[in-house]
Chain A
Amino acid sequence: MTSSLPTTQSKGLTRTLSPKRRLENLSATVIIGILTVIVLLPLFAITYEILSQGIGNINLGLFIESPKSVIDTSGGGGVAHAIVGSIMMIAIGLVIGLLVGVGAGIFLAEFSEHKLVPLVRLFADVLTGIPAIVVGLVVFQALINSRIIEYSAVAGGIALGFIMIPIIVRSTEEVLKLVPVSIREAGLALGLPRWLVTMQIVLPAARAGIVTGIILAISRVGGEAAPLLLTALGNNFFSLDPTKAMAALPLAVYKYAFSPFEHLIRQAWAASFVLVLLIFISSLIARYVIRERN
């Protein structure tokens, strides 16, 4: 007797696909590949465009110097004033966004039986849909036009904070809901009051997700020019006074991009590069911090 190898008819571990199936597999792979490239293309195209247009102005001076005179065409001068302004306004916005956003997120997730929950959720949803420039207009009318404060970093920060709130509320609520009920019960069964369980046990368990939501909010407002036009106004000079008009990167991009001078248009591209870099670095730091603490 000769032992015969299993034929394709028998139930071996390998099998040959029919030509039709092979064609289907191949075309699915190709289509998915093309779609992936289409998704990634804008990212690379934007990065390439920013770099190629602004490369002449990207140097150390960009980060540490303030703008030179408009008629100084030597290409020097930086956007340090706008970097500091953006960071300061995002920080002010973050204080508001964190306090109100995380607070409301906790309220929605942890006290869902409260009768005000549907109302708060509705507000958060509506706030998400309000265009940024309208938020800027409202802050302008409420604080600046009514002479309560001047055009300032504080006003700009408040506008950014209001844009951040709904993003942080929603992401905080969602990640808190992912924390298992059993963890809350374990805390309560130890005789801990509910607020302690929420703050010390549930919130830390959801920390990574909450920080992700905050990064998302920062990325969103970091690039906003519209609300700042009406609130922070912009400034050509370096300033650390939050009660006075202040520059910000999106405002600098806006201003330089519309200028008639070649070297300032280049500067707009360079400022865009700084803006992208700033948001990229802040999310890297935030992710690193989360990983370290976990």
Chain B
Amino acid sequence: MQNLKPQHIKASGPVSDKEPRLIAQDVSIFYGDKEAVKKVNLSFQPNTVNALIGPSGCGKTTFLRAINRMHDLTAGARVTGQIMLDGANLYGEGIDPVDVRRRIGMVFQKPNPFPTMSIYDNVVAGLKLAGEKNKTKLDSVVEKSLRGAALWDEVKDRLKAPGASLSGGQQQRLCIARALAVDPEILLMDEPTSALDPQSTARIEDLMETLKEQVTIVIVTHNMQQASRVSDTTSFFLLGDMIEHSPTAQMFTTPKDQRTEAYISGKFG
């Protein structure tokens, strides 16, 4: 029977009835001739945490980086299809990737604070380097962002210390604060806890729960327990195909696809 629903609704499955915030339509990503991500359709609701899981090389990070146009910088990388943020195609004519990244922040696998900057300057780098000079505003952004990243109490007395002087887990929260400071609508997280110890991981997972009140989170993770703990929806990628996208509870109890079941039960990956 002909399905009359728009493509993205079909792909996303019944998560909630709210308007999706971010919609990927037929997104394919190529490195040269190699198709790393194949015609992926996905949509993400506002104020949710969405996990992308799958074995190494399945295209989940590649897909994530397409959302804020980081592939524009990779020689030979090419994206086809559409990624819509609030109805606007991020790959449309006249769209400046710099503006896209301002609205869609990113936290990376390894903490990467700016090496020459203090904690304070790291947090406001996105504003200060873009020309914001109002000290009162910067001060308040620093406090708000560091509180948002659950780091304020640990560093409030040494904001002038180098960002690199923090521990790995604190550095990663500093990077989250830095991303929050520019007030993004979407936050992309590329295995944000894979380089951290279990305690720091737990702190960042707790943080996601509160962060989703402000932002929509898309997180790539290798850790299926993490996906089940933190996310509202989970998408399973395999060899560049998006196999299944379901509410997390459903995905981990009654997966629809046999391959998903094989992966989450540890048969491969």
Query: CB within 8 Å of B: which residues of A?
Result: 113, 180, 182-183, 185-193, 196, 200-201, 204-205, 207, 294
Contacts and interface: CB of A to CB of B under 8 A. Distances in A.
B106 A189 contact: yes
Q: Determine the main DSSP class of A at the interface with B.
A: helix
B212 interface: no
Contact of B101 (A182, A188, A200): A188
A192 B98 contact: yes
Given A113-B75, A201-B114, A204-B116, A192 B129 contact: yes
Contact of A190 (B70, B75, B110, B179): B179
Contact of A186 (B100, B102, B114): B114
A192 B131 CA distance: 11
Given A113-B75, A188-B101, A182 B129 contact: no
Contacts of B114: 183, 186-187, 201, 205
Contacts of A201: 114, 116, 125, 129
Given A113-B75, A182-B108, A185-B108, A190 B115 contact: no
Nearest to A112: B75
Most chain A beta-carbon contacts within 10 A, residue among B99, B110, B126: B126
Contacts, number: 69
Interface string B91-106: 0000000111111011
B61 to A, nearest CB: 12
A183 B182 contact: no
Contact of B115 (A113, A192, A205): A205
The interface centre, meaning the residue of B70, B108, B115, B178 with most chain A CB atoms within 10 A of its CB, is B115
B73 interface: yes
17 contacts: A113-B75, A180-B112, A182-B112, A183-B112, A183-B114, A186-B108, A189-B105, A189-B108, A189-B179, A191-B98, A191-B103, A191-B130, A192-B98, A196-B129, A201-B114, A205-B115, A205-B116
